[in-house]
Every structure is written in C-alpha cells, then in structure tokens.
Amino acid sequence: MRSLHCRSRWTARLLLGVLLSTNGCRPPAASTAPLSTQDVTAIKGTLASWKQASLAGDFPAFFGHFTDDAVWMGPKGPPTEGLAAIKQGTWVRALEEELTPTQVDGRGDIAFARGTLSLLLDQKGAVKHDGTFLTVLRKQSDGSWRMAAYSVAY
C-alpha cells in the first residue's frame, strides 16, 4: 500500500511538472477562457479515436494521438518520456476496451481528462485489466487535441 501512495504522489508531481512546463510558471491570464463545448467534444473524440486505433491494432494512428514530447506513465516501471521512446515500448492490441471519461476540464490550449477503463489485452491468456486513467492534452494549431501525458493505473 505504501508503494501505491508513493507512486500516486510521484505521478501527481510529474503531471504538475508537465502542466507547468507546457504553460509556464504563471497563473492563467484572466482572459484565458474555460474549454468550450466544442473543445470538450473534440477531446472526447480524441479519446474515442485513440481507443479505436488500439482495438484495431493500428499503432501509427495510436501513437499519432500523442505530442512529440509526451510522457507515458504505465502501471509498471518508470515514466517514458518522448514519443520516440514511447514507440519503443512493448505494445499489444486491445481485444476489448472501454474508456470512459468522467471529467474533462481545462483552460485555453491545455486540458485534462480522467476516467475509468477496462481492457482485455492480446497477451498470453488474454489479460483483463480494470482501472483509471488521467491524461493531459494540448490543443494543436489545427484545433485538434493530442495527449502530452498519459497515466494509467490498474
């Protein structure tokens, strides 16, 4: 239990660092508007599209949902920094996946989404995992949203 508590604190610190490095160390300007309905819909669409890529085993599309400087924090091992390093990991196709965002919020061009997930992975014995996720997303110049950090626990 202690290692889970330490990992949670460490993960929270890392996510805070990502947020500060992507948005500077200043509070948001008063003119920074909350996310629009269109932004929330686009973020949920990004997550749905990412899920479909995972189910299809379409890894180019799967990795295309991340920023080049993304951080992946899987359930085991240290964080992986940078898209090139993330791609070098061991990836398996999801046979079944439920990804349910329970909260999406943010300001300007930075947002987060958190929720629950259930995965049946194409591993020896088709391993099922239930857990939670938290992702930080950045709005791109074309209006799309890509994941700058993703953390999963199960």
Q: Where are the domains of the chain?
A: 2-24+34-153
The architecture CATH gives domain 2-24+34-153: Roll (3.10)
How many whole angstroms separate alpha carbon 130 and alpha carbon 72? 18
Q: Does 23 score more than 90 pLDDT?
A: no
Least confident of 10-19, 95-104, 109-118, 125-134: 10-19
* CA separation, residue 18 to residues 25, 100, 124 (Å): 11, 23, 34
Quote the mean pLDDT of the chain: 86
Mean pLDDT of 46-63: 96
Q: What is the pLDDT of residue 123?
A: 83
* Residue 66: both structure tokens together: 């991340």
At which residue do the structure tokens 């046979």 appear? 95
Looking at per-residue confidence, does 7 or 90 come out higher?
Answer: 90
Instruction: Give the side-chain half-sphere CA count within 13 A for 90.
Output: 5
pLDDT of 125 = 80
Give the percent of the chain with pLDDT over 90: 70
Q: How confident is the model at residue 31 (pLDDT cuts 50, 70, 90)?
A: low
Is residue 148 predicted with pLDDT exceeding 50? yes
Taking the CB of residue 27, how many other CB atoms lie within 10 A of it?
A: 8
Residue 51 CB coordination number (10 Å) = 19
* Res 25 pLDDT > 80: no
Six token digits for residue 62:
């799967």
For residue 102 the two structure tokens come to 């329970």
